[in-house]
Amino acid sequence: MKLVQVSDIHFGGENREAVEAAAAWIVEAQPDLVVAAGDLTLDGKAAEFEAAAEWLSRLPDPMIVVPGNHDTPFVGPGELFERFTRGWGRFKERFGDEDGAAWRAPGITVASLNSARIAQVRWNWSKGAVSHGQIRRVVRELEAAPAGDLRVVVCHHPLMEILGGPMTAKVHGGVDAANRFVAAGADVILSGHIHLPFVTAIPFGDGKTQAVGSGTLSVRERGAAPGFNVIEIEPECIRVKALAYERGQFDVWRTWAFDRRL
């Protein structure tokens, strides 16, 4: 099985050449699932959502889309009014509910949660949060997966800080969520947010749960060229390839491989 993981496209600030090339690459690859892990827009504007929806409509189905902290209006008085009256309205009109998207196929169960918030009791609203209710729901979905399924969780913010990462996520409830998801058998937790691809083991349980982050397809680069991840699932192994757009094409920037929990 092959998954494609994109995030932080930031329409309104996208790398147009890389975005077009990525669409062509993904269509040709025909993955089994496309995961869009948030920050589809730059400022949550209606025109940016239209561009994101048009681009994603060109990619193969099935697809799971979760929002990020940029995917609610926040620039200008009118946009702030929109944020606080129907903060996820623009997202929902185009992609469905902002929380709880799920997908299942033989051998794989995917759950998701919205780690972004319209407002928080702290100055930096861009940081993430996970509620107790979200944790309980994802745990139920993971525990209900058939034996032998690869169990995948999707959210925008890395639940735990990434060592050496270019920015922080500081997810309220993130460590508890990671711990509970590991206990429920999660194999992979997919995210974005920091604009840099990574794979790192979550230090709970048997140490086999991996956090996998994809880079950005925007001009807001942080240490890597615009790109996305390809995740290849084999019976005993998972391989992650971070592709980067350089010199007019996508090439492999870095690869990781790790054993599956059997």
Give me the number of domains the chain comprises: 1
CATH label of the domain that carries residue 52: 3.60.21.10
Decide: 40 and 32 in contact? Cβ < 8 Å: no
The single-letter code of the amino acid at 53 is A
pLDDT reported for residue 195:
97
Instruction: Give 188's strand partners.
Output: 152, 210
> Would you place residue 178 in the very low, low, confident or very high pLDDT band (cuts 50, 70, 90)?
very high
End-to-end CA distance of the chain: 17
Domain that holds residue 53: 2-259
What's the pLDDT at 166? 87
pLDDT band at 232; cut points 50, 70, 90: very high
- pLDDT tens-place string over residues 95-141: 999 999 999 999 999 999 999 999 888 989 899 999 999 999 999 99
pLDDT at position 165 is 87
Q: Of the candidates 146, 133, 109, which has an alpha carbon nearest to the alpha carbon of residue 33?
A: 109
